Amino acid sequence: MPELPEVQTVVSDLKSKILQQKIINVQVLFSKIFVLEPAQIINQTIIDVLRRGKYILIKLSNGYLVVHLRMTGRFFVASKKSSKIILTPEQQKHLHVLIELQDYLLLFQDQRKFGRMHFYQNLAWLESKLGPEPLSPDFTISYLSQICKSNRQIKALLLDQSKIAGLGNIYVDEVLWQVGVHPNTPACNIVFTKLKIMHTAIQNILQQAIAMQGTTFLSYAFDGAQKGKFLTYLKVFNRAKLPCFRCGTTIIKIKVVQRGTHLCPACQPLDPLDFRKKISLNTGRAKQVKKN
């Protein structure tokens, strides 16, 4: 968190405000976040703001400022009222990097201090580690079918950024509920008709989330404090102990690839032949038992 829709929302917000702004100065208040020398970006002009996977790419006149928000990173664009920088208490809260532009102040706040900023001359390193964008022409049903020949759990595969860039815990849970597939199912066991539904679900859910400016359920915000509105549209994520919208069965939460995972045990049954271990759902919650 944030995932593709949230990062895209931040990118769109920044793009509407800071293009063609020259970087005048940089103040670093927490050095582990700003992993570069300020001199590398001072006097450069912001040409564009882009997204690749979960990364924000601020294209400069010479190189890129690459930002990963991680858990709680957020940007705040403030107007410069005078040559003297004066911040409100809200702007000062968890402030770790202040980038002074010609007409604005670009503030980076991060409560948990996991966010990172790097400078790169080009993006070859990033392209080598990320798979296709799920909303791009490169993400075809044929491509999804090809990567799903693996026997990896489908949730693990969909979370793998080298296979598909930008998907995260929230939207993978939503997609798998939409398709009716248990997150522990080996990808190679999913029939092609289901994969076609999955391909459509991935794109539709991401597009809907982008339109609603992402999902805020903990700390994600854009433009400093604006929240995403997709939370009320979620069908399964963060709905443990609530009834499934489709069948009324109680939604459960289990661990899959070390991630909290929400699912409907009735709509997303696990084939006991898939694993040496199977999931017992008799008590309304997931419990691993040995196969008979």
User: Which residues are part of the catalytic machinery?
Assistant: 2-3, 54, 259
Give the other-Cβ count within 10 Å of 283's Cβ: 8
54/169 Cα distance (integer angstroms): 13
103/51 Cα distance (integer angstroms): 24
179/199 Cα distance (integer angstroms): 9
* DSSP-assigned letters across all residues of 83-129: SS----HHHHTTEEEEEEESSEEEEEEESS---EEEEES-SHHHHTT
Give the other-Cβ count within 10 Å of 213's Cβ: 23
